Amino acid sequence: MPGSRILVVSKEQIQKTKPDFIVIFPWNLKEEINEQLSYVREWGCKFVIAIPKLKIF
């Protein structure tokens, strides 16, 4: 994201680095993103949203 220094990475980079958490900024698309990236659960990755309130799932 420009100016925030928050990295936006490709699916390939996610698979390579296997992060512990993925922050979802477009909270209204959380279900779609959760489905598209469901494979991250294999290594225990969790999703984080902050709107409307902080939630880790």
**What is the rounded distance in angstroms from the CA atom of residue 44 to the CA atom of residue 29?**
21
Residue 50 C-alpha from the chain's centroid: 12
CA distance linking residue 13 with residue 15, whole number of Å? 5
Name the amino acid, one letter, at 26: P
In this predicted model, which residue has the larger pLDDT, 20 or 8?
20
Q: Is 46 helix (H, G, I), strand (E, B) or coil?
A: strand
pTM tops 0.85: no
- Summarize the confidence of residues 32-36 as an average pLDDT: 96
